[in-house]
Chain A
């Protein structure tokens, strides 16, 4: 009987959460609720209203979402965001992985190249954009370099031409992102057991076969992180576009994020702007969750 009671007491003792631990969980949750969940709920409520930021919001139900179906700028922004996701996301993953493979081996001076590639990450995107803006000017470095090499016919108002604006904006964003992705892949590559490569070499595997059958599968965990980072960064890409083109000329480099900002804070249609924010959230959440679910299912 005494043994039983002691065991029960021990079990009760094990499950009892000390109040301090509870506080460390509940208090941040409360702060998070006020800081994140509450504004998010308010944002969703705002998306159901017509609000100019000054008067009281007018409830319009799903009117803002309905308007999106007929809004050609929304369609442009959505397509540009998908294009941005593919180009910016795809290229930064590929080039980041390429840079990591190139710079993974400890050689003399490799640290310098790693630092040089990572350097743009340190600068703010707005500062980066301002430097690139100067380069894209009609008499800027890029056009002058083209002239120097006798390619004057390719001169362009890169940011003011609707055919080139979006691509011109992607370049500085990529320039910055590659270093970041490279660091993630470098960490992943360092985590691969060298024994696997040695075994493969003994079996006579070529470099491509080693990459295909060891490196790629071993990087699966890192890929999930990189994909999440890329999707989130793509959907929240705003600063570089805003600093360079503000989504223009005439919406040709408009992303959902810039359209949301200009609708909400320039045209003062905060209800419609909030509806766009909800769409961005749903897209980011949807893409990441569906990928993670698939990734975990494969892992099982």
Chain B
């Protein structure tokens, strides 16, 4: 047993060290640091995939990488919302996580423009990634032409329902907006809340899917992207048209829609208290696996036949910090994530409703997944999602505007004026 005798000198040295550490931690405004994390040791992978199934799949993935020899990796899972708010801090830190899960497109580009992402153009020439589609290559390229992202999976959004419930209620999938409203009417007469949403709790962002889909069906995908990039205004007549249509469907929304998080809304859907729900396939991660066979979906209805049919097909994957001290090892891990083996491990461990980005990798092959793949492959254009096509910073303004619309649709004029004013503050930065 070692007895350490506290001495005055040791005490002063200790407090001095603590003070120095505090001084260093206080340097918050010094901007992006050029320091890099030290080399050696395993690559740290910071993941936001925190639902139990997805987390387990990520653990399998890292275990698969570590088993094959070469560089090693460790996984650090952070709750999704914490991850999102801390992401700028992770990337600007002098000791950042080496590799992070996140999104390509405009979100990744905004960090790349600030020099925070590692240029991984060289791994895109390797055989593991050379077969990836042109659309994915473009999506993973920053505005200065560098590849900064490696995609792993993508998924689709659709109007999900239970086949057995639709059969019980004697209703069919609609294709047009009028058929959709007709279906809602029938369900309401049967005492079911036709449309579940799950924009309460901590998942108000789910309401953005309705805005996205109505906008791409009425004004088209390009207008939608331009609007989110600040090239149009949220109080334009085109945006008003979106809410005019939404108001037609509003009486059919579950009155508890803004009181429940999407996980609870999923339960309502599975228990037949709501008829259908516009959601991404990630909701399946919080659904019992034995119910997945009974789940089906239909494409968001056509509103204007002249507008090409775009779909929301968000891509997930990885980007690395420019400050990493383990560039080679990080690239080795990123290359592994793009392989057939890695993507199949992930799909096997998770709910299996996502699609691999590697064209050689097999999806789970269920009828639901086949239908989802056909939906995205047949789409005239693919959008990502509100925050992915705009920025994480703009999402709260949408959450406020859309939940207010759901509760007070008549106040749409002031809602859109406020939304535009809030968005301008973000764009103006």
- Chain A interface (Cβ < 8 Å from any Cβ of B): 20, 23, 27-28, 30-31, 34-35, 38-39, 42, 45-46, 49-57, 133, 137-138, 157, 159-162, 246, 248-251, 262, 265-269
Find chain B residues with CB under 8 A from A161 CB.
Answer: 407
CB of A55 within 8 A of CB of B407, answer no
CB of A266 within 8 A of CB of B22, answer no
Known contacts A45-B29, A54-B32, A138-B260; A35/B400 CB under 8 A: no
CB of B258 within 8 A of CB of A53, answer no
Known contacts A30-B19, A54-B114, A267-B426; A160/B200 CB under 8 A: yes
CB of B18 within 8 A of CB of A31, answer yes
Please, how many angstroms separate the alpha-carbon atoms of A269 and B397 in the complex? 13
CB of A42 within 8 A of CB of B28, answer yes
Find chain A residues with CB under 8 A from B204 CB.
Answer: 246, 248
CB of B26 within 8 A of CB of A268, answer no
CB of B200 within 8 A of CB of A27, answer no
Find chain B residues with CB under 8 A from A52 CB.
Answer: 88, 393, 429
Known contacts A51-B29, A249-B407; A34/B22 CB under 8 A: yes
Within 8 A of A (CB), among B375-403: 392-397, 399-400, 403
CB of B202 within 8 A of CB of A246, answer yes
The 8 Å CB contact of B264, one of A46, A137, A249, is A137
CB of B88 within 8 A of CB of A268, answer yes
Please, how many angstroms separate the alpha-carbon atoms of A50 and B114 in the complex? 16
Known contacts A20-B8, A34-B19, A160-B200; A269/B426 CB under 8 A: yes
CB of A54 within 8 A of CB of B202, answer no
Find chain A residues with CB under 8 A from B26 CB.
Answer: 34-35, 38-39, 42
CB of A268 within 8 A of CB of B392, answer yes
CB of B396 within 8 A of CB of A266, answer yes
State whether the Cβ of B366 lies closer than 8 Å to any Cβ in chain A: no
State whether the Cβ of B3 lies closer than 8 Å to any Cβ in chain A: no
Please, how many angstroms separate the alpha-carbon atoms of A26 and B422 in the complex? 47
CB of B23 within 8 A of CB of A53, answer no
CB of A266 within 8 A of CB of B400, answer no
State whether the Cβ of B85 lies closer than 8 Å to any Cβ in chain A: yes
Find chain A residues with CB under 8 A from B111 CB.
Answer: 54
State whether the Cβ of B349 lies closer than 8 Å to any Cβ in chain A: no
Residue interface bits B17-42, CB-to-A below 8 A is 1, else 0: 01100110010110110000000000
Please, could you name 18 A-B residue pairs with CB atoms under 8 Å apart, sorted by A? A20-B8, A34-B19, A39-B26, A46-B29, A52-B393, A54-B116, A157-B258, A159-B259, A249-B403, A249-B407, A262-B396, A265-B85, A266-B393, A266-B395, A267-B396, A268-B88, A269-B426, A269-B429
State whether the Cβ of B2 lies closer than 8 Å to any Cβ in chain A: no
Chain B's closest residue to A53 (CB) is B88
Find chain B residues with CB under 8 A from A54 CB.
Answer: 32, 88, 91-92, 111, 114, 116
CB of B89 within 8 A of CB of A31, answer no
Most chain-A CB neighbours within 10 Å: which of B22, B91, B260, B404? B22
Please, how many angstroms separate the alpha-carbon atoms of A139 and B29 in the complex? 47
- With A23-B12, A55-B31, A250-B404 known, 16 other A-B pairs at CB within 8 A are A27-B16, A34-B22, A46-B28, A53-B89, A54-B91, A54-B92, A54-B114, A55-B114, A137-B259, A137-B260, A160-B259, A160-B407, A246-B202, A249-B258, A249-B404, A266-B396
CB of A250 within 8 A of CB of B400, answer yes
Please, how many angstroms separate the alpha-carbon atoms of A138 and B12 in the complex? 58
CB of A57 within 8 A of CB of B429, answer no
Please, how many angstroms separate the alpha-carbon atoms of A251 and B201 in the complex? 14
Most chain-A CB neighbours within 10 Å: which of B399, B400, B429? B429
The 8 Å CB contact of B400, one of A49, A50, A133, A248, is A248
Known contacts A27-B15, A250-B404, A269-B426; A138/B259 CB under 8 A: yes
State whether the Cβ of B164 lies closer than 8 Å to any Cβ in chain A: no
Please, how many angstroms separate the alpha-carbon atoms of A33 and B404 in the complex? 44
Please, how many angstroms separate the alpha-carbon atoms of A265 and B404 in the complex? 22
- Chain B interface (Cβ < 8 Å from any Cβ of A): 8, 12, 15-16, 18-19, 22-23, 26, 28-29, 31-32, 85, 88-89, 91-92, 111, 114, 116, 200-202, 204, 255-256, 258-260, 264, 392-397, 399-400, 403-404, 407, 422, 425-426, 429
Please, how many angstroms separate the alpha-carbon atoms of A54 and B322 in the complex? 13
Find chain A residues with CB under 8 A from B200 CB.
Answer: 157, 159-160
Find chain B residues with CB under 8 A from A133 CB.
Answer: 201
Known contacts A159-B259, A246-B202; A267/B29 CB under 8 A: no
Find chain A residues with CB under 8 A from B23 CB.
Answer: 34, 38
Chain B's closest residue to A249 (CB) is B403
The 8 Å CB contact of B29, one of A42, A138, A249, is A42
Please, how many angstroms separate the alpha-carbon atoms of A251 and B399 in the complex? 11
The distance from the CB of B217 to the nearest CB of chain A, in whole angstroms, is 25
Please, how many angstroms separate the alpha-carbon atoms of A262 and B91 in the complex? 20
Find chain B residues with CB under 8 A from A157 CB.
Answer: 200, 255-256, 258-259
Find chain A residues with CB under 8 A from B201 CB.
Answer: 133
Please, how many angstroms separate the alpha-carbon atoms of A162 and B116 in the complex? 40
Closest A-B pairs by Cβ, 9 of them: A160-B259, A157-B259, A34-B22, A250-B404, A138-B256, A53-B88, A268-B393, A56-B31, A265-B85
Please, how many angstroms separate the alpha-carbon atoms of A45 and B429 in the complex? 17
CB of B22 within 8 A of CB of A31, answer yes
Chain B's closest residue to A67 (CB) is B425
Find chain A residues with CB under 8 A from B116 CB.
Answer: 54
CB of B85 within 8 A of CB of A266, answer yes
Please, how many angstroms separate the alpha-carbon atoms of A56 and B12 in the complex? 36
Please, how many angstroms separate the alpha-carbon atoms of A137 and B267 in the complex? 13
Find chain A residues with CB under 8 A from B88 CB.
Answer: 52-54, 268
Find chain B residues with CB under 8 A from A27 CB.
Answer: 12, 15-16, 19
The distance from the CB of B421 to the nearest CB of chain A, in whole angstroms, is 10
Chain B's closest residue to A41 (CB) is B26
Chain B's closest residue to A268 (CB) is B393
Please, how many angstroms separate the alpha-carbon atoms of A30 and B395 in the complex? 41
Known contacts A138-B260, A251-B400; A31/B426 CB under 8 A: no
Please, how many angstroms separate the alpha-carbon atoms of A53 and B114 in the complex? 11
The distance from the CB of B208 to the nearest CB of chain A, in whole angstroms, is 14
Find chain A residues with CB under 8 A from B19 CB.
Answer: 27, 30-31, 34
